[in-house]
Amino acid sequence: MASRLLTNIGELLTNDPTLGDETPVGRLHDAALVLDDERVVWVGAASAAPDADERYDVGGLAVLPGFVDSHTHLIFAGERSDEFEARMAGERYDGGGIARTVAATRAASDEQLRDESGARLAALRAGGVTTLEVKSGYALDVEGESRLVALAREVTSEVTFLGAHVVPQDYVADRDAYVALVAGEMMMRCASAKWADVFCDVGAFDVDEAREVLVAARARGLARRLHANQIADIGAIALAVELDCASVDHCTHVSDVDVERLAASSTVATLLPGAEFCTRSPYPSGRRLLDAGVTVALATDCNPGTSYVTSMSFVIALAVREMGLSVDEAVWAATRGGAGALRRADVGHLSVGARGDLVILNAPRAAHLAYRPGSSLVREVWRCESDDA
Ligand SMILES: [Zn+2]
């Protein structure tokens, strides 16, 4: 295809620390970049840019890598706004509402699920998400989970099998049988997923149960990630590090020992401030994790119960306001951090060779993402069509 020159960029965040101001976001001013065959082939000063087949002048606006949303529960039916209202009136979240979404999702047709999820996907994309992860987990039976994995694969290559979301009603008296089903037949039928995940927390699965599922996943060649420490610290992070999970997600309640453990590991801590916002829970300190040397990602956790969020800009604003991240750190976490949580080297940055997935803001600086919360600042999203991610 034709090469494209994107020029007169007021502020370009490349997330390449060898470029520009040599910070982690690799910031350049008065910059340009050239895309060829949907890859970045040149980055630098606008005055030094080479010719290209097409020239696109952004008039001094900011450009950054497309957002990488590494944690969504995109595919479900129905909604639970009544629970949100009840929580805002003072009730605590304990995970019990997932059963309602399971019932609605089991009852929905494929077409209905495509329609409802497609609307959320469109919102995420319009907000600048160019790569996203999608989990199963709202069927909790063999046929249903394999259907959700197949539907998720229509949307992305970053599909996660989450049969171990909660123990379904019909297995409450025999949890072991459900864990065995998840680690056995259900996982086998969902093996086209790239990832396996477990909700390892109070009210969901304990560490031994999570271990059984993740060890089975490893044996089947599925990569691993874990919902950990959202409601309480039951030892999930040590398990995640031991089993080389790419990411531990939530990390709301984290001990000093676990912070050290994460800092010494290749496991990313994915923070989901939409969940704390929507459950009115205390936010974890992202600052503490970053200062200890932990790699941090930010994601929407888009789900109907605890974070019906489809805006990465909103997540960035929350992380800056409530978790102690600088704007640069939050933008990095929502792009390159998310890529790390998916173990992807080709997205989340705009170095030469990266996919040309990028966002053009209706603002001269990326700081406006946090400075003007609630505004739609994404003017244009360029996303490669050559891959399904
Ligand atoms: Zn989740």
What is the C-alpha to C-alpha distance for residues 114 and 122, in angstroms, rounded to an integer?
A: 12
Predicted local confidence at residue 93, as pLDDT: 58
Tokens of 69: 């949303």
Phi, psi of 294 (to 5 degrees): -80, 140
HSE, side-chain direction, 13 A CA sphere, residue 132 = 32
What is the C-alpha to C-alpha distance for residues 285 and 44, in angstroms, rounded to an integer?
A: 35
What is the C-alpha to C-alpha distance for residues 167 and 177, in angstroms, rounded to an integer?
A: 10
Cα-Cα-Cα-Cα torsion 6, 7, 11, 16, nearest 10 degrees, comes to 60
Question: Is residue 363 scored above 70 in pLDDT?
Answer: yes
Per-residue pLDDT tens over the stretch 12-41: 999 999 999 999 999 999 999 999 988 999
Query: Confidence class of residue 387 from pLDDT cuts 50, 70 and 90?
Result: low
Give the global pTM: 0.97
- Give Cβ neighbours of residue 159 (< 8 Å, ≥ 6 apart): 133, 134, 135, 136, 149, 152, 153, 192, 193, 194, 195
Distance from Cα 286 to the centre of ligand 1, integer Å:
18
The residue-averaged pLDDT of 100-115 equals 97
Phi, psi of 354 (to 5 degrees): -75, 160
Distance from Cα 41 to the centre of ligand 1, integer Å:
36
**DSSP code at position 309:** -
Q: What is the DSSP string of 336-387?
A: IIHHHHTT-SSSS--STTSB--EEEESSSSTTHHHHSTT---EEEEE--SSS
Distance from Cα 247 to the centre of ligand 1, integer Å:
12
Percent of the chain with pLDDT over 90: 94
Predicted local confidence at residue 37, as pLDDT: 84
Burial class (CB in 10 A: 0-12, 13-18, 19+), 131: buried
Distance from Cα 300 to the centre of ligand 1, integer Å:
9
Mean pLDDT for all residues in the chain = 96
* Domains in the chain with CATH codes: 4-66+348-382 (2.30.40.10), 67-341 (3.20.20.140)
Distance from Cα 228 to the centre of ligand 1, integer Å:
9
**Dihedral sign for Cα atoms in the order 335, 339, 340, 345:** negative
Burial class (CB in 10 A: 0-12, 13-18, 19+), 199: buried
Question: Residue 65's closest CA among 22, 21, 24, 119?
Answer: 24
What is the C-alpha to C-alpha distance for residues 132 and 379, in angstroms, rounded to an integer?
A: 19
Distance from Cα 276 to the centre of ligand 1, integer Å:
12
Distance from Cα 275 to the centre of ligand 1, integer Å:
9
What is the C-alpha to C-alpha distance for residues 126 and 362, in angstroms, rounded to an integer?
A: 13
Tokens of 272: 């989901």
Query: Confidence class of residue 385 from pLDDT cuts 50, 70 and 90?
Result: confident
